[in-house]
Structure 1
Amino acid sequence: MRRDFLATARVAADLLRTPAVRDRWDEPSALPAFSVGGLAGHLAFQVLVVAQVLGDPVPEEPVISLLDHYGRVEWIGADLDDEINVRIRDGGSSVAAEGPVALAARVDAVLASLDLAAVPARPVRMALWGPWALMLDDLLVTRMMELVVHADDLAVSVGIDTPAFPEGAVSSVVDLLVRLAVRRHGSTAVVRALSRTERAPATVAAF
């Protein structure tokens, strides 16, 4: 899991350094109300926050499961202008405030110093969450999902091919998204979407 996260983060870091992202930094992205730069900042945050939470004390909040985490987050189902989504967009813009070169350099510096293999299994917590924590490896799954999904958003935004991610990371992300889709739509809908085009529902989106 930790190797997969680092490999995924390096793919995202390469994307942040592309001329297409730099040249369209101030343009609208494929996501409503996000600029390309703001979306790049949100993508970078998924790497930067791992170093941040590992620098924090071990949280005292109760540790919950990965699926319980997604049952509690405020952004699922929130409207575009709800406070949580505004905070997420503002956070991305803040992270990206110094521009594309500085942002890529920050991500590269964190990746150069992040030795996840040396970190013992421990709970971690992001400030954006409510009163709960996750085990580190579960947090890394959540960050890989964000990296894979938002790398696609960013690539589409600037008109380049979506980068390929490591097979292990893709498996973890797809597994998470399928489990969330089953919880939201039911197993029959997801099975039909994956196997029967004639009976497939209109969507089995996880969020």
Structure 2
Amino acid sequence: MNVRDVYLESAEITTTLVTHPAVARCWDTPSALAKMRVGGLTAHLVSQIIQVGPVLDAPAADELVSLQEHFARSTWIDDGLDSEVHTYIRRTAEAEATAGAPALATAAATALAELRRRLPAEPPDRVIQLPFGPWSLTLDDYLVTRLLELTVHGDDLATSIGVETPAVPPACFDTVVGVLSHLAARRHGQTALLRALSRAE
């Protein structure tokens, strides 16, 4: 199973989660994420599906970077909660949430149906322009960043509405854990990560 198949399967799990009745019922309540309502969190989660089509339509930038370099350049990883980038993410998500739960669930399902058609037809070496950075990634590396978002924020949403976090495909879990381990080592150091993962104390 390649990363495109894994992404499509993971996105289907997300579209199912956002249709849960508790999402609409809790729409205006605080989410598990600070300063974000359930509606805003749902909108941010759904955007990890609906943004992929426009990305496929956009021309690539001149500079292609690796996935590791992409995360090294991404300021959101180390910025505080009230930083410009995180404030922008929350503001955008809350604005998109005004569409309401049913509309966002429909938008996610519609986008996923289109991606089922488009992603398998993309060439193996396809390069895309990021919507939030002046550099490009391969399509497959970009989808890895979306798997991270779908998995982490899927858990955030499930926790926020009081339901069990849906299991993701094993290949998705392995990929996301690999990325999170890399980011944790960057933030806390290799030794701290090694001890957290291996020591029983």
Give the match's secondary structure for 1:173. helix
Identity of aligned residues (%): 45
Give the match's secondary structure for 1:75. helix
Q: Aligned partner of 1:76: which letter?
A: I
Q: Does 1:190 align with 2:183?
A: no
Instruction: Identify unmatched segments of 5+ residues in structure 1.
Output: 199-207
Deviation string 1:98-136 (CA, Å, 9 cap, x unpaired) is 10000000010011111211011221122322x211110
Q: Does 1:4 align with 2:30?
A: no
Q: Aligned partner of 1:37: which letter?
A: G
Q: Does the 8 A contact of 1:4 with 1:166 survive in 2?
A: yes
Out of 45, 48, 65, the residue aligned to residue 46 of structure 1 is 48
1:13-28 aligned within 5 A: 13-28=15-30
Out of 49, 54, 57, the residue aligned to residue 55 of structure 1 is 57
2:165 & 2:11 partners in 1: Cα distance?
A: 14
Give the match's secondary structure for 2:76. coil
Q: Aligned partner of 1:95: which letter?
A: E
Q: Does the 8 A contact of 1:45 with 1:95 survive in 2?
A: no
2:54 & 2:169 partners in 1: Cα distance?
A: 24
TM-score by length of 1: 0.91
TM-score by length of 2: 0.93
**Aligned-pair CA distance for 1:176:** 1.0
Q: If each structure's helix is expressed as a fraction of its own residues, which one has the higher value?
A: 2
Runs ≥4 residues deviating over 4 A? none
1:127-138 aligned within 5 A: 127-129=131-133, 131-138=134-141
1:1-207 aligned within 5 A: 1-57=3-59, 59-114=60-115, 115-120=118-123, 121-129=125-133, 131-198=134-201
**Aligned-pair CA distance for 1:194:** 1.2
Q: Does the 8 A contact of 1:67 with 1:180 survive in 2?
A: no
2:21 & 2:62 partners in 1: Cα distance?
A: 42
Deviation string 1:124-151 (CA, Å, 9 cap, x unpaired) is 122322x211110000000000000001
Please give the root-mean-square deviation of Cα atoms over the aligned residues, in Å: 1.2
1:136 & 1:185 partners in 2: Cα distance?
A: 29
Cα distance change, pair 93–126 in 1 and its aligned pair in 2 (3 A): farther
Instruction: Identify unmatched segments of 5+ residues in structure 2.
Output: none
**Aligned-pair CA distance for 1:51:** 0.9
Count of residue pairs the alignment pairs up:
196
1:13 & 1:75 partners in 2: Cα distance?
A: 25
Give the match's secondary structure for 2:33. coil
